[in-house]
Amino acid sequence: MLKRIPIEQLRLGMFIHELCGSWYDHPFWHRAFLLDSSKDLQELLSTSIKEVWIDPEKGLDVEDGKSENTVAAEVDDTLARFNNGGKISHRVDIAQEAVRAVKIYTESRQAVASMFHEARMGKALNASVALPVVDEITTSVMRNTGALISLVRLKNKDNYTYMHSVAVCALMVALARQLGLNKEQIRQAGLAGMLHDIGKTMTPLEIINKPGKLTDAEFQVVKNHPAEGHKILLESNGIGDIALHVSLHHHEKIDGSGYPKKLTNEQIDLYSKMAAVCDVYDAITSIRAYKDGWEPAEAVRKMAEWGHSHFDQRIFNAFVKSIGIYPIGTLVRLMSDRLGVVIEQSDNSLLMPILMVFYSIKLNTRIPPEILDLSKPSCKDKLISHEDPEKWNIQDTQELWSGLPAMHQEANPRIGAAQMAEASV
């Protein structure tokens, strides 16, 4: 629960959710951050800010009579957990984080839509606008990797472009953490993911929203978006090299068959290799104007088949570890002839996730929901395969994994593998 406290009660290790005052009352451009610097603490105390909102779930709470040694130990522990490659050990269950994820979903969609509109109007972007959104997304992913990532997969044709940017941002954050990158590298990876498709603001909307296969000429127009995005970001404020590289190279492939430069493995930077994986995964699992998305587990399987020509294998393997072989929301069949939805990844094995079991195949009916951790020694059941929800007429997988009502989606015809691959352009 958030707390509003006097500025005098601030101490290192607290997570500042919001500063109470106008932006010109203090030198900090970001709205929410972990207070991990003595210099930042002194600067805050010297401003005209009187109160701040803190989040005790992400950092330290106000002092409660503890000894100085105890407080110091808590500060060291909090900062160590936060700065260890961004790996925060405080983790919440997916249903709890899903509620917050819905709010972040709405806010980030609006922020990205605004940035894309500004770019379309020829106005320079500013990192100070994008980074607070990246920070919110990062915090959610750190608290529970699957909640926001699973939620943003559920797009519709009207918000696809914006939510794809949010999704790739979240996936980049999760992947960067899995690769052991530090806090600032994770942040910049998230920013790069959010802005990787900014060049599509220069692509005609009738091509972006076309409900069918692109012509060769239209495809060539779309292939201009990396260069257009790179140009936009070069003219923006506070955008670093990571986002610049990713905007230009996220469609390059390991075998040199990508675009725009036809770079090969050793010529492609780390973050562009990461973005290539994240971009394709979200594209092929998302509902679009002209297709349904593949189920997450099917998408991982297909990407593994493409892997040696498309993706850096070390990065792809880390990506699979970050989302799971059976990502959250996957419908699976058990040896006991029951169906379940993946609601969490197990810390013990990628092949044995935590499920919400809810359907009996033998009885051909729903049964009282049961949470089943396949990784526990006491569990005798086993996962046999992932399943297509349409085959079983299951419409509420989102509600099953998150506890939230399903977001409205329009029905779309399915298309083949070739067009699926094209969907990631």
Q: Do 357 and 343 form a contact (C-beta atoms < 8 A)?
A: no
Does one domain contain both 68 and 178?
A: no
CA atoms within 13 A on the CB side of 251: 23
pLDDT at 190: 97
Does one domain contain both 338 and 318?
A: no
Residue 212 domain-assigned (yes or no): yes
Residue in the structure block whose two tokens are 């593949």: 294
Does one domain contain both 27 and 140?
A: no
Coil/strand/helix, residue 166: helix
Does one domain contain both 318 and 361?
A: no
- If one counts the domains in the chain, the total is 3
pLDDT at 69: 43
Does one domain contain both 335 and 319?
A: no
Residue 422 domain-assigned (yes or no): no
194, two tokens: 């959010």
Residue 378 domain-assigned (yes or no): yes
Residue in the structure block whose two tokens are 């076309």: 210
- pLDDT under 70: residue ranges of the chain: 21-31, 38-39, 63-91, 156-158, 287-292, 403-425
Q: What is the pTM of this model?
A: 0.74
Residue 425 domain-assigned (yes or no): no
Domain end marker among 276, 292, 323 = 323
Does one domain contain both 254 and 152?
A: yes
Does one domain contain both 47 and 105?
A: no
Domain end marker among 83, 104, 134 = 83
Residue 423 domain-assigned (yes or no): no
- The CA distances from residue 257 to 218, 219, 236, in Å, are 19, 15, 30
6, two tokens: 């006097």
Does one domain contain both 144 and 279?
A: yes
Domain limits at 366?
A: 331-417
pLDDT at 21: 66
**Can you tell me the distance from the alpha carbon of 64 to that of 124, in angstroms, rounded to the nearest whole number?**
47
Residue 201 domain-assigned (yes or no): yes
Does one domain contain both 268 and 375?
A: no
pLDDT at 273: 97
Domain end marker among 40, 60, 83 = 83
**Can you tell me the distance from the alpha carbon of 295 to that of 245, in angstroms, rounded to the nearest whole number?**
30
Does one domain contain both 338 and 393?
A: yes
Residue 89 domain-assigned (yes or no): no
4, two tokens: 């509003």
Q: Do 210 and 161 form a contact (C-beta atoms < 8 A)?
A: no
Quote the crossing angle between the two packed helices 94-120 and 127-143, to the nearest 10°. 160
Does one domain contain both 53 and 137?
A: no
Does one domain contain both 202 and 287?
A: yes
Residue 200's domain is classified under what CATH number? 1.10.3210.10
Residue 76 domain-assigned (yes or no): yes
* Of the candidates 165, 161, 154, 280, the residue with the CA atom closest to the CA atom of residue 210: 161
